[in-house]
Structure 1
Amino acid sequence: MIQPSNKNRIVYLDVLRVLAMLMVIMVHVGDAYLFNAETMTFETEASLFAVLLRSSVPLFIIMSSILLLPIKKDNTSFFKRRFTRVVIPFLIWSIIYVFLPIPNEIAFGGPANTFTDSGLNVFLYNLMMVPFNFTGSNVHFWFLYIILGLYLFMPIISPWIKTASKRSLIFFLSMWGITLFFPYLRLYFPQIHGECDWNDFGMFYYFGGYLGYVILGYFLHHHNRLKAGQSMAIGAILFIVGVIVTYWGFIHDQNAFFKTLALSHVENWKLIEFNISFLSPNVVIMTAGVFMLFQNIKLSAFMKRVFTELSVFSYGIFLVHYIITLWITAWLHNSMMINPGLEQFLLTVLTFSISYGIVKPISFFPRSNYIIG
């Protein structure tokens, strides 16, 4: 049963949340398609998808800022709701993922584990690390640690953002924009603006990081006064430019990857992520473009209800989708005898549908918010 539409909901955010969730799933499905270990090549279509979908995580951060800032209740109420709706389900599923069987020996990604080699059981290690960092068992939760950190900061910036002028917001975003180029500058000057071996906190440190997406989301939501057609046109241009630059950088990094195979696995993947970093100027441009493309979207009453339904369960879908993704790609990867790009898309839709089919029945149980948010 599709939930009735809530008049207080922001329609375009429901659409963006569903889109971002599909993008996240497609990224994780794409892990099975991106790199061919037999031929030691990166697949072209999967590489293009990896670039096109790069806005997924930043979009979630942007939407959080729009929905939560400025904080309308006291800090205790704010944190209590975040704890019950986000933290508890995150902790529960982090523990579940430690024990879930996976089709491959090691799930993709996760920080280096320096303890299990010395005898500490991997299950115990993964359980122990849940409060501190993600591991190979819950690698897809990496950005929840970022989100939780931003939640902690929101009560601090809420009074400022409530009264901040457009010019003040632009000033912050300008400083943030400068910091986005620092990784490239550090290729030639490793330490800049007061940084040194014993001090990582340079002059622009406090303008950097994912907080910029929080301010960007608030700015676009409250200060984008362009007409719908103008907003869509500029959004399309930003997205296309961002995609071209990001794809070029990604191909460059792939070539560098093969030139440095003597490096550790971790160092190799650092190279791959360099130009498609979520905190690169090109990905920021892409994200702003996607946001502006959908900011003035109009839907029929029925489609509003559909997107409301899927949006309400998006966090639960995110929590459960990864294990489904691993098994589905293990079973069906390259078995459909169709175009790999189409196969990746179909497996994404299948994973999304199964995840929704799991989350929806759970929602009928009492206190289900502790499980699916």
Structure 2
Amino acid sequence: MTRKERIAELDLIRSFAFLAVVYQHVIGVYIRRPGVDEQTAIIYGMLFHLLKFAVPAFIFMTGLVLFYNYYERISYLSFIRKRVTEILVPYGIWSAIYLALQTRPPQSGSEQAWHILKSILTGSASYHLWFVVMIFQFYFLYPFWQSLFRTLRKWASTRGKGIAIIVLVGLVYSFIVWFSARYIPAHGFRFHLAWMDTYWIKYRDRNAFYYFFYFLMGGTAAVTLGTFRHAITRYWVWISGCFLLLFAYIGYELFRDSGTGHINLNVATSLKPSMFLYTVVQLLLVYRIALWTGEWKGSKWFAMLGKYSYGAYLIHALVLTYLMKGLTALQLFHNSLLGSFVAFLLCSVLSFAISYGLGRLPFGAWLVGAAEKKRKTSSVQPKDLPYAG
């Protein structure tokens, strides 16, 4: 295999996205606490919007890494075997841990078995595990996406055609998220076939097809990497201006749709057209920030966090649960905006430390993915984990 340039900024974006996920979940805890005033809730809502790039960023990086490494051909069996080992095995282990910690009424053997199977298949053993189920679909169906992407690229024989295809794909995706956010809730749309209704309606938040634009966007960045970097570096002022305008608009939507006197974070779903446009612009800006951060000597700490982000992601919900119990029991930092920053920092550091420690064990790859093994060979190619691209 031809040796390729290491895409150093991906570790930084990975770390940014992990930190954004952690603080989103911290905000979810603090905004529901008794006594949160409207001003603080508004600040939480604005911060939540700033952090919404996280999941799309991981999907974008997944597309970038896969198309960068496997654009031409792929040995599917070895490809999928590697992903099962490095992604699904740690996911299964941590799903079992979260299920074991749940308190549920006594159930029969068959009911318990169905609950376990359903939790693993849907990523519902804990509130954050849905993402692994969703992202793995891109790996599982990569030959389909590879074929589609190569066809679209073949059609884009000129710059004008390329722009037209990007706009067309964007319009198709806008319709899909409009269908999810507006049409389905307003009309109670359902499929008659149970499996279609489950996959396309009930669990659409973890259906990879509802996020496909960010994956193909990553593929576009992969096959035009130098041009992509140059463009976002050259036009970052325009990108920043568009970001501020869209940030103001989705903030208006949050206040408009939340109802009087409170902030409803469910309004800030990624699956709606306005959030789609906002997220695309934000991803470009985050990539520019990663390029800038990479020039700073201290960026190695962010890069280290990025390498262990998958394990830290799997662990952080458990850490946050017990951290909040401890802060509440001690009556420290458990009910204020400052407290949310403290909880975020503690949860991030502890999750990373546990992931790093587990990753250095002989069987660590089974618990946190292949972070340590990949660290030794990262000078050749970018990492290939769900929270590593």
Question: TM-score, length-normalised on structure 1?
Answer: 0.77
Distance 1:7 1:305 in 2: 21
The equivalent residue for 2:200 is none
User: Deviations along 1:246-286, whole A, 9 cap, x unmatched?
Assistant: 2222223331798xxxxxxxxxx9x852x322121222223
Q: Is 2:285 aligned against 1:293?
A: yes
More displaced 10-residue stretch of structure 1: 348-357 or 248-257: 248-257
Q: Note if contact 1:29-1:347 (Cα within 8 Å) is conserved in structure 2.
A: yes
In structure 2, the residue corresponding to 1:35 is in which secondary structure? coil
Which amino acid letter does the alignment assign opposite residue 370 of structure 1? W
User: Deviations along 1:8-49, whole A, 9 cap, x unmatched?
Assistant: 431222111101100110011112211244679782322222
Distance 1:338 1:127 in 2: 32
Distance 2:315 2:181 in 1: 36
Which amino acid letter does the alignment assign opposite residue 291 of structure 1? L
The equivalent residue for 1:159 is 147
The equivalent residue for 2:212 is 211
Over the residues paired in the alignment, what is the CA RMSD in angstroms? Answer: 3.6
Instruction: Give the superposition deviation at 1:372.
Output: 0.3
Q: Note if contact 2:123-2:131 (Cα within 8 Å) is conserved in structure 1.
A: no
The equivalent residue for 1:263 is none
Which amino acid letter does the alignment assign opposite residue 121 of structure 2? F
Q: How many residues matched?
A: 336
The correspondence of residues 4-43 of structure 1 with structure 2, limited to 5 A, is: 8-37=5-34, 43=41
Which amino acid letter does the alignment assign opposite residue 55 of structure 2? V
* Structure number with higher helix proportion: 2
Instruction: Give the superposition deviation at 1:145.
Output: 1.2
Instruction: Give the superposition deviation at 1:84.
Output: 1.0
User: Deviations along 1:172-209, whole A, 9 cap, x unmatched?
Assistant: 22321233333465279738xxx8864889xxx99961
Instruction: Give the superposition deviation at 1:336.
Output: 4.3
Distance 2:26 2:341 in 1: 9
The equivalent residue for 1:307 is 302
Higher relative contact order (CA 8 A, sep 6+): 2
Instruction: Give the superposition deviation at 1:69.
Output: 1.8
Residue from 243, 246, 260 that aligns with 1:242? 246
The equivalent residue for 1:370 is 366
Distance 2:350 2:90 in 1: 19
Q: Note if contact 1:239-1:289 (Cα within 8 Å) is conserved in structure 2.
A: yes
Instruction: Give the superposition deviation at 1:7.
Output: 8.7
Q: Is 2:58 aligned against 1:60?
A: yes
Distance 2:357 2:181 in 1: 48
Distance 2:265 2:280 in 1: 23
The equivalent residue for 2:87 is 86
Q: Note if contact 2:180-2:271 (Cα within 8 Å) is conserved in structure 1.
A: no
Instruction: Give the superposition deviation at 1:319.
Output: 0.9
Distance 2:139 2:115 in 1: 24
Q: Note if contact 2:53-2:283 (Cα within 8 Å) is conserved in structure 1.
A: no
Distance 1:317 1:207 in 2: 22
Which amino acid letter does the alignment assign opposite residue 64 of structure 2? I
Which amino acid letter does the alignment assign opposite residue 294 of structure 1? V
Q: Note if contact 1:233-1:293 (Cα within 8 Å) is conserved in structure 2.
A: no
Q: Is 2:147 aligned against 1:146?
A: no
The equivalent residue for 1:281 is 273
Stretches of structure 2 lacking an aligned partner (at least 5 in a row): 157-161, 198-203, 370-389
Which amino acid letter does the alignment assign opposite residue 277 of structure 1? T
Q: Note if contact 2:319-2:351 (Cα within 8 Å) is conserved in structure 1.
A: yes
Question: TM-score, length-normalised on structure 2?
Answer: 0.74
Distance 2:96 2:208 in 1: 34
Distance 2:14 2:208 in 1: 26
More displaced 10-residue stretch of structure 1: 305-314 or 41-50: 41-50
Pair 154,242 (structure 1): closer, same or farther in 2 beyond 3 Å: farther
Instruction: Give the superposition deviation at 1:63.
Output: 0.8
Distance 1:322 1:183 in 2: 27
